[in-house]
Chains A and B, each alone.
Chain A
Amino acid sequence: MKLPWFKRNGIFFIPTAIPGWIILLAGFVFAIYSFIDIDSRSHSASDTLINFVFMLLIIGAVYSLIAYVTSRVIKK
């Protein structure tokens, strides 16, 4: 598929192609699933938030790595 899928804007990578939007959507869905899962096992609101922010940072780190790799334009 034709690259780039993302372009960087500040500290965020914004999708510019359909595969990029699919990756972003998958990240959102996984974040929502994580929130529901963490919330069902936690004992307080702060417990949920602390664990969810940690998970959100990991999702962000993996997403940014994928976006960085697929935002390159391969020169022939």
Chain B
Amino acid sequence: METDNFEKQLADMTKPDVKGLKHEDMLATAIINARDKSVVSWWWISVPVFIILMLIMKSTFMPGTTLISAMHELESSQKYLSLIFFLISPIIMIIINAMTVRKIHFLSGSPKSINFLETIWFNVLVIALSVLILIIYSL
């Protein structure tokens, strides 16, 4: 009698209805977050990039001025502003974007394909620009 009940219970059991894998949702959310973060990073990195472009223009049109000397001049006249935009901001951008890239790389199963690079190219660009800004600032 009990065996019959058990067999009936087994027959009634169905597989859980899973429409999508949770892992896929996590990866999709991580990619959307990465794009959002890279856009915010892009806005913040555009300020020092604009300043550097203006300093390059200044060094081109003013004889006897170089990018490095113009940068030192800016550093001495605007100490806190240059510290925020040329040191603190790029470091934060590098950390945030590197962590985002690492998370997507981990969630997507550590791929080595070009598709992965297509997904995170904007984050990589922001990291590269941040490193460039830090190098110029440290000269």
Please report A residues at the B interface, Cβ cutoff 8 Å.
8, 10-11, 13, 50, 53-54, 57-58, 60-61, 63-65, 68, 71
> A8-B35, A68-B37, A71-B36 are known contacts. Are A61 and B43 too (CB-CB below 8 A)?
yes
The 9 closest A-B pairs by CB, nearest first: A64-B43, A61-B43, A68-B40, A61-B44, A57-B47, A64-B40, A11-B39, A60-B43, A57-B46
Contacts of B44 in A (CB 8 A): 61, 64-65
Please report B residues at the A interface, Cβ cutoff 8 Å.
35-37, 39-40, 42-44, 46-47, 50-51, 54
17 contacts between A and B (CB under 8 A): A10-B39, A11-B39, A11-B42, A11-B43, A50-B54, A53-B50, A54-B54, A57-B46, A57-B50, A60-B43, A60-B46, A61-B47, A63-B43, A65-B44, A68-B37, A68-B39, A71-B36
Seed contacts A8-B35, A57-B50, A61-B47; 9 additional CB < 8 Å A-B pairs: A8-B36, A10-B39, A13-B39, A53-B50, A61-B44, A64-B39, A65-B40, A65-B44, A68-B37
The distance from the CB of A56 to the nearest CB of chain B, in whole angstroms, is 10
List the count of A-B residue pairs having beta carbons below 8 Å apart.
38
The distance from the CB of B62 to the nearest CB of chain A, in whole angstroms, is 14
Q: Which of A50, A58, A65 contacts B47 (CB 8 A)?
A: A58
Contacts of A10 in B (CB 8 A): 39
The distance from the CB of B39 to the nearest CB of chain A, in whole angstroms, is 5
CA distance A12 to B43 in the complex (A): 10
